[in-house]
Amino acid sequence: MRFFCNQVLRFACIVIGIVLMAGLPMLLPSGGSFHLNWMAYFQSIEEIISGLFHIQEVTYNTEGTERKLLTQLMNIGTYSVTIVVGAILLAFIAAAILTFITMLLPPKWIRKIKVGTFILESIPDILIILTCQLFVVWLYKKTGLLFFEIASLPGQPIYALPILCLSILPMIQYFKVMISIVEGELEKQYVELAKAKGVLKQKILLVHVLRNSLASLLNYSKTVIWFMLSNLLILEYIFNINGIMRFLLEYLNPVIFAWSLLAIFIPMFLLFVIGQWLLERFTNEKVVM
């Protein structure tokens, strides 16, 4: 019970934060002056709050026609969230497999792999996404095979390449963190006991270490998600995907900004809460969020 009360409070705090943030452009000076417009800020906050409570009535304007925000958010929101969730799952699984293989290698190699991941991790997302796209085009030019659709057309959402592109950097980040967590875990005594009892290293890694490091990984996922949302912005722009970030960029209006942020935030938040609840229930680890 206490857990749920806490989560509801946390949710409320974040919604307040989003509302305060969405009003910011109104606060800042405009028209050549250098004064903060507190009045306009409070007005826009009022507007946003009333917009939050009356979602059915909020509309946006595309080339003269008024459209309902709710239906649009439903469509593009599910699409964007699918891509993000798909990418994070792919990244997590790929990183787990890579970590498993890496940990079975001799320590000399592990050190080299660590330096490699450190360098890869520093590559900015724009470079990775652009090179992915250029690479597919180049492959198409050379072989005549189009493995993935490289741009989305209206009515034909693409999934494979965006998910793949989006998962590259999170995979590297997960990999790096997993290696450090697993290395820390391997020094603990239960691993020594298991070794002494003659349990295979593979089994120790897959059963015991994996279970014990899930809590830290869930905690780290928050950073990864934040990073991925920033990647998503670039991705949707380059692949011409009709997703939530592109929609946001086109209509930079406080009410729409607040609602779109909520549309991304609510599913992510629910996922985290469920994950946290499951972990605290079935393992004895505490997750600090």
Partner 1 sequence: MVKRLFKNGYFLIGFLFIFVLCSISLLHTFVWDNHIAQTQILYENGRAVEGSPISPKLDIPLGTNVLGFHMTHMISVGAKYTIGFAVLIAFIRLLASMVFGVLYGAYFFKFRKYVTWMVDVFNYVPVTLLALFILTPFLVEVPTGFDYTFWERVWIEVIILALIAVPPTSIFIGNEMGRIFSHEFIDGAKVIGGSRLHILWKHVRPHIQPQLWIIFMQQLVQTMLVLAHLGFFKIFFGGTNMSFDPLFADPPQSISYEWSGLIGDGMRHLTVSPWVVLVPIIFFALTILAMNFMLEGLKTVTENWRVDLRPEKSVNQSINQVSEDKQFIPLKQGAVQRLELRLEHKE
Q: Which stretches of the chain bind partner 1, using CB under 8 A? A: 9-10, 13-14, 16-18, 21, 24-25, 28, 30-32, 118-119, 121-127, 130-131, 134, 137, 222-223, 225-226, 229-230, 232-234, 237, 245, 248-249, 252, 257, 261, 264-265, 268
Which residue, 61 or 223, is less far from partner 1 as judged by CB? Answer: 223
Picking from 83, 55, 90, 85, the residue whose alpha carbon sits closest to that of residue 69 is 55
Could you tell me the smallest distance in angstroms from the CB atom of residue 236 to partner 1?
Answer: 11
> Which C-beta is closer to partner 1: that of 145 or that of 252?
252
Q: What's the closest the beta carbon of residue 212 comes to partner 1, in angstroms?
A: 19
Residue number with CB closer to partner 1 (84 or 103):
84
Give 67 or 222: the residue with its C-beta nearer to partner 1.
Answer: 222
Q: What b/e readout covers 22-57, taking b as 16+ CB neighbours within 10 angstroms?
A: bbeebbeeeeeeeeebeeebeebbebbbebbeeeee
Residue 197 Cβ vs partner 1, minimum distance, rounded to whole Å: 26
C-beta of 276: minimal distance to partner 1 in Å?
14
- Contact (Cβ atoms closer than 8 angstroms) between residue 165 and residue 235: yes
Least Å distance, CB 93 to partner 1, is 23
Non-local CB neighbours of 188 within 8 Å, separated by 6+ positions = none
Q: Please, which contacts does 89-98 make with residues 24 or more away whose CB atoms are closer than 8 Å?
A: 90/163, 90/164, 90/167, 90/171, 91/167, 91/168, 91/170, 91/171, 91/174, 91/224, 92/174, 92/217, 94/167, 94/171, 95/171, 95/172, 95/174, 95/175, 95/178, 96/174, 96/178, 96/210, 98/171, 98/175
Toward partner 1, which CB reaches closer, 28 or 97? 28
Which CB sits closer to partner 1, 210 or 229?
Answer: 229
How many angstroms separate the CA atoms of 46 and 4, rounded? 28
31 phi-psi bin (left φ>0, alpha ψ -120 to 50, beta other): left
Nearer to partner 1, 159 or 251 (CB): 251
Distance (Å, whole) CA 227 – CA 125: 9
Minimum CB distance to partner 1, residue 138 (Å): 10
Residue 97 or 134 having the CB closest to partner 1: 134
Q: Which of 144, 132, 212, 142 is nearest to 169 (CA)?
A: 132
Q: Minimum CB separation from partner 1 for residue 22, in Å?
A: 8
What tokens were used for 230?
Answer: 């920033």
